[in-house]
Amino acid sequence: MKLKLRYLILAIILGVSLWWGLSSPRQAASLPSDAKVIHLLNRLSFGQAPGDIQQLKSMGIEAYIQSQLSPESIAQPPQLQRQLNQLSTLQLDPVELFREYDPKQQFKGKKPTEEERKMAGKQAQLPKQQAVEARLLRAVTSPRQLQELMVNFWFNHFNVFAQKGLTRLWVGAYEQQTIRPLALGNFRDLLGATARHPAMLFYLDNWQNTAPDSPGARGRFRGLNENYARELMELHTLGVDGGYTQKDVMTLAQILTGWGLDRNGERGDGSGFYFDSKRHDYSDKVFLGTPIKGSGITEVEQALDILASHKSTARHISYKLAQYFVADQPPVSLVDNLTQRFLATDGEISAVLETLFQSPEFWDSKYYGSKFKTPYEYVISAVRATGTEEPNLKAISGILNQLGMPIYGCRTPNGYQNTQQTWLNPDAMLRRVSFATSLASGRLNKSEPVNPVQLSQTLGNNFSAHTQKVINTNSNKLHAALILGSPEMMHK
């Protein structure tokens, strides 16, 4: 009873502290050098880990930005690489994953027992489980932090829901082999790669998309399915106000007919994708005002070229990046500059980000510590701050489920929102407080309690006078929990 009362009091203290922090807007001014370091780490990484502040000061701000924009130049810790190597499903392609982990493939020609059925069902969850572990390991311990931020950003942008049928087998390969290699690359390449991947084909049903009067129209392949065509324009490229019509949606759906799944690797190129010419609409089309000759698979490439180079796409992506890295309502001037950079570089993501990180808007002090972290960002930043070398991945995943942001668990194609309005509510704050107390006590990782002095140093002693007062007027045993549950930890 006393323990529960202590946590209740702690929750109230943290709640008051948090709301005080939210009601004190910062005034615009130039950031001092120490604040610039903390700001950069908060925005180009999931938050400070032990030694990060000192390392950045030693490197210099510009050198740090350039190194993060070139993740291959940053060596991965051997321990992280060993841990990733133990996750056997990470290197399997969609065809291999289907052959080895789809339950139906295990019982060809025989009727399984109930025990065999259960075991196969459990085995089928392994690819997703290992994908979650890999995501968390990298987010917490990888020094290639900007790459991890961008993997999170692009997966969310091109979201698939892991619990929809076969997507559970392919979600890890989708992130590992499609999103990750192109997270700082070219947008057109990323757009094409996601369009072809079995996870996206299955999630948004384009694998069933068929010209109604085609020779292949039969069974489940009986007609147009416009799900992917609509989301491709509304979410992935042009944006909801991007200037397209319902006719454009239907035309794009016609262009996308015949794109299918090759689960066993018997008909396509071995990637899990193949083009079924018998289900394609070969009529000539006009898409977004541009004529496209009925020619088969190349029609989609033409359509993707049009979408990737469109000014509305440049603006839509630029707005989302500015929102992700700067503010829920990003400054129009920044979005305009990023849009121009996107168009001038044909969608080179690293070039757009470089413009963003060097912009005066990014460094404006009114945005310092002002962006509310999503549950994923908060949990990862708290674990990083404690310097945990072997994070309890299962526990972290469970916390994210409780906070309403399970990895690969967003059902809708628009992905998780990253704005304060979505995530700030009393119940969520109490859950964050509970997590902070568990992490600070060492119970989460079955380790020693977190040293509050070291924790404070890791975070750059970046606390307001009010937060410092709350910490100092409470028991030393609560200091680490108060730091992890402070307004400064809830924001970046």
pLDDT at 21 over 50: no
- Is the confidence at residue 150, as pLDDT, over 70? yes
Q: How many CB atoms are closer than 10 A to CB 19?
A: 14
> Is the alpha carbon torsion for 122, 123, 127, 131 positive or negative?
positive
For residue 279, the model assigns a pLDDT of 98
Q: Which of 90, 10, 8, 121 is nearest to 473 (CA)?
A: 10
Average pLDDT value for the chain: 92
Distance CA 198, CA 160 (A): 11
Average pLDDT over residues 235-247: 97
Residue 123 — very low, low, confident or very high, per pLDDT cuts 50/70/90?
A: very high
pLDDT confidence tier of residue 116, bands split at 50, 70 and 90: confident
The pLDDT confidence band at residue 10, using thresholds 50, 70 and 90, is low
Confidence of residue 27 (pLDDT cuts 50, 70, 90): very low
pLDDT attached to residue 13: 52
What is the pLDDT at residue 399?
97
Q: Is the pLDDT of residue 296 over 70?
A: yes
pTM recorded for the entire structure: 0.95
Q: pLDDT tens digits, residue range 371-406? A: 999 999 999 999 999 998 789 999 999 999 999 999
Q: What is the pLDDT of residue 25?
A: 39
- Per-residue pLDDT band for 7 (boundaries 50, 70, 90) equals low
- The pLDDT score that the predictor gives to residue 14 is 53
The percent of residues above 90 in pLDDT, for the chain, comes to 83
